[in-house]
Amino acid sequence: MKLSNKTLLAFSWISLLLIVTATAFFTYQMKTYSRMETDLDEYMPKDHPAFIYSDEAEELFNIKDGILIAVENPKGIYNTSTLQKIKDISIGLQDMEEFDDADIVSLYTADNITGSEEGLDVRAFYKKSPKDEAALEELQNSVRSNDMVYKRLVSENENIALVVASTNDDVFSMEFYHKILEFAKSYEGPEKIHIAGVPIVEGTMAYLGPADMKRMVPIVLLVIIAVLFFVMRSVKNTILTLLVVGLSTVWAFGLMAFMRIPVYAVSTMMPVMLVAIGVADGIHLYSHLNLHLKANPKISKFDAVKDMVSSMWKPVVMTSVTTAVGFVSLLTSDVYPIKYFGMFTAFGVMAAMFFSLVLIPAGIIIFGASMPKMKEEKAGGEEKTKFSHRFANSVIKHKYAVVGATAVILIISAFGINNIWINSSFLDKFERDSDIVQTDTFINQNFGGTNTINVVLESEEADAFKTPNYLRLIDELQTGVEDLDIVGNSFSLSDYLKRMNKVMNADDPEFDRIPDSKNLVAQYLLLYEMSGDPENLWKVVDYNYNKANVNFQIKSDNSKEINKVMSEIEKYREGFENKGITLNYAGSGYKALVFTDLILIGQIKSLLMSILIVIILIAMMFKSITAGLIGSVPIIITAVISFGLMGLLDIPLSTTTALISSIAVGIGIDYAIHFIERFKIYAQETKDLELTVVKTMHHSGRAISFNAVVVIAGFLVLLSSVFPPNRSLGALVSLNMFTSFIGTVTIMFLMLCRSGLFFKNKKGGLK
């Protein structure tokens, strides 16, 4: 059905009105309901068996991530002022509604287990800050002789004291994050205050993530504007293309907010992604318009738009669909940030397609069609195609060298793939010299560690963990694992019993061991329950004494290091199982490790699925399975090189870099589709391979080269991110785009020529 010019003009105005209305709605949703989420628990599937078990154990033993506040006095903490400050901080935290009294552990709140004539005595190290030298020395000696506190809450050099405030994930917010930071810093001087811990790292990520996005988006826009104008040489067309990417970004984030999906750290890259991707359709549309206007300088803007849309809608739709498929494939991941990133980026890509096919034509009709002065050869039939002809002939002439070089690169990349590893570390997302990393390092150097793994032991035997042999096995586990440099301290029921056995025997070091009889163990535990605060005891054992919690403090959240600790723990599994005790894991450190496995599984599934679907879509589009297979070659080459380079450069897969394969497939396939589509058209028109090659290189080859330049420029902006994984992603995606482009105009081009595809007699095939 042919539309009149008047109808087209009316349709254009109506389209603009509807787009503005919808954009206003999404903008309101984004401003009202958008929020940042960095809690690792919220990254994971709630129905995963490992997480279900861990959550149950955390509830049973009150396992929480701790906020660590270190009070440093270079002259030593054993003075009235510093001890008072430790007390004030402890009480101040207890007064906050986000904490229970039992959640605050410090030298002021900790129990000091000692022996007395009446039996076991459990009391605080101090209630009032000691003022005279004798009292200060007595406190110092008490701490030094208590392994449950010394080197755990007070550093070995006695210059630093630690206050640990454990908190539930559901109370942590940006307001609370700033509240804690301001509270801690208010105690600065003369003591120095350091604050770290998993919640603080997550909070810092939540704070810096949006700030990083706000800083990068203007840079991306400036770069894209500059490159687009350089390519298009038209202010009007540059503005329309920018509107496409701007609106698609607003719609994507607006839909997220409307569905009450939070913004994760990885989501902050969506604007950069959509800006870089969204310009592709506009470039191809304007590239075609440019050539058509040059060939038909007297054509009306209505006829030019009709030709542009009728000629380009199919490849624009197909490239958008295949790009969206690359991101939709991320739905196979069980990691929520990656899953939602894929879902809403795919929506943004389809929105960009809609705007490209509606907004750009409407803009041309309403505001007029300018002559896009794209950078190219001088006018003239032969001159315009001179470079295209020369490049195509060069590729064909040196086809064996091209294939050989590609094979060598792929072989090297295959070796690199074997070295790929996964990392769920939050700290590794920051610069090594950043305050958050430096503070974490400082506390790890002086104490047990800012991260934990909890080993949960279970027996069906009643009072199992009152049995000396079982307790000794726990002690052996702790001793063995603590031999690892990365492990600072460990804590369990055995530590309580060793301390009680020692103090009940006049502090004789010979008795710093597990008691020999079950009855004596039971008596000590009963005395502690009567004399101390049993709430502390229930953090390491349950009320029936058939479940025990062993806590290991680790000096890193790096997945490689956590794996080392887990491997060492596993050496003791058989010993426990021989006694009928099962060994399981809980806590944030363990869940982070499971998290890495989910990333890998999701990565493999999404890559295989996206490639398979893309092959099917291309085969359906061109009605040829050969076309589908040929079209997939550049993205397969790109994926292999990308992952190989990650392995060779020791760049880990993370929630950020795990997006590489989907981006490579989603964006890289655009080049192949546009090239094959134009190759098919010219093959059917000319029936001549040489002429088809030259025309295709001049039309689509030029357009995808412009596209590659713009996309690469957009992603290179990520190199300015404050987060190292974002910089790695920017560099790798830029490389992917370059590789996809080169693969399309070389290897895929040679395969198209060799196959004789779209030439009925097949005689046009490359020899």
Q: Could you give the CA distance from residue 714 to residue 289 in angstroms, rounded to a whole number?
A: 24
Pair of tokens at residue 456: 């949960």
Q: Could you give the CA distance from residue 222 to residue 765 in angstroms, rounded to a whole number?
A: 45
613 and 577 fall within a common domain? no
Whether 105 is covered by a domain: the verdict is yes
**Max Cα distance, the chain (Å):** 109
211 and 192 fall within a common domain? no
Contacts for 47 with CB less than 8 Å, ≥ 6 apart: none
Contacts for 116 with CB less than 8 Å, ≥ 6 apart: none
Q: Could you give the CA distance from residue 130 to residue 133 in angstroms, rounded to a whole number?
A: 8
Contacts for 707 with CB less than 8 Å, ≥ 6 apart: 279, 280, 283, 284, 670, 671, 741
Determine the residue type at 411. Answer: I
Residue 207 burial class via C-beta count within 10 angstroms: exposed 0-12, middle 13-18, buried 19 and up: middle
CATH number of the domain where residue 254 is located: 1.20.1640.10
195 and 321 fall within a common domain? no
The pLDDT of residue 65: 84
Whether 428 is covered by a domain: the verdict is no
Whether 51 is covered by a domain: the verdict is no
First to last CA, the chain: 44
The pLDDT of residue 85: 95
Classify residue 460 by its DSSP letter. S
Q: Could you give the CA distance from residue 767 to residue 755 in angstroms, rounded to a whole number?
A: 10
396 and 478 fall within a common domain? no
Q: Which residues pair with 585 in a beta bridge?
A: 455
> Which among 554, 588, 622 is the end of a domain?
588
The pLDDT of residue 380: 42
Contact 550, 576 (CB under 8 A): no
Phi–psi pair at 74, nearest 5 degrees: -55, -20
Please compute Rg for the chain using Cα positions.
33
Pair of tokens at residue 304: 């030019």
Whether 183 is covered by a domain: the verdict is yes
The pLDDT of residue 374: 43
pTM here? 0.75
Question: Among candidates 15, 26, 22, which has minimal Cα distance to 358?
Answer: 15
489 and 400 fall within a common domain? no
> Which among 568, 588, 608 is the end of a domain?
588
| CA dist list (Å): 229 to 237, 286, 363, 516 | 8, 12, 17, 83
Pair of tokens at residue 518: 């079950």
**Domain extent at residue 506:** 446-588
Contact 727, 613 (CB under 8 A): no
458 and 546 fall within a common domain? yes
Q: Could you give the CA distance from residue 207 to residue 201 in angstroms, rounded to a whole number?
A: 10
Contact 651, 723 (CB under 8 A): no
Conformational region of residue 179, where left means phi above 0, alpha means psi within -120 to 50, and beta covers everything else: alpha
Q: Could you give the CA distance from residue 614 to residue 621 in angstroms, rounded to a whole number?
A: 10
The pLDDT of residue 83: 95
Question: Among candidates 248, 214, 449, which has minimal Cα distance to 344?
Answer: 248
578 and 606 fall within a common domain? no
In order, the DSSP letters of 348-410 are: HHHHHHHHHHHHHHHHHHHH-------S-SPSSHHHHTHHHHHHHHHHHHTHHHHHHHHHHHH
The total number of structural domains in the chain stands at 3
Whether 52 is covered by a domain: the verdict is no
The pLDDT of residue 282: 83
Determine the residue type at 223. Answer: V
Is the Cα torsion angle 587, 593, 597, 600 positive or negative in sign? positive
Q: Could you give the CA distance from residue 590 to residue 562 in angstroms, rounded to a whole number?
A: 8
Determine the residue type at 485. Answer: D
How many Cα atoms occupy the beta-carbon half-sphere of 188 within 13 Å?
9
Do β-strands 487-491 and 547-554 pair in parallel, antiparallel, or remain unpaired? antiparallel
Question: Among candidates 758, 754, 750, which has minimal Cα distance to 767?
Answer: 754
Whether 50 is covered by a domain: the verdict is no
> Which among 540, 559, 588 is the end of a domain?
588
Conformational region of residue 300, where left means phi above 0, alpha means psi within -120 to 50, and beta covers everything else: beta
CATH number of the domain where residue 573 is located: 3.30.70
Whether 278 is covered by a domain: the verdict is yes
Whether 508 is covered by a domain: the verdict is yes
Pair of tokens at residue 348: 């943004």
Contact 142, 107 (CB under 8 A): no
628 and 724 fall within a common domain? yes
Pick out the chain residues at pLDDT < 50: 372-384, 763-764, 767
538 and 627 fall within a common domain? no
Q: Could you give the CA distance from residue 266 to residue 333 in angstroms, rounded to a whole number?
A: 14
Pair of tokens at residue 440: 């974490």
For the chain, give the number of residues: 767
Pair of tokens at residue 246: 């701007």
Is the Cα torsion angle 50, 53, 54, 55 positive or negative in sign? positive
Contacts for 651 with CB less than 8 Å, ≥ 6 apart: 645, 657, 728, 732
Classify residue 261 by its DSSP letter. P
190 and 217 fall within a common domain? no
Residue 505: helix, strand or coil by DSSP?
A: coil
Residue 163 burial class via C-beta count within 10 angstroms: exposed 0-12, middle 13-18, buried 19 and up: buried
Determine the residue type at 407. Answer: A
453 and 355 fall within a common domain? no
572 and 619 fall within a common domain? no
| CA dist list (Å): 252 to 183, 344, 758 | 37, 6, 38
Pair of tokens at residue 468: 């000396």
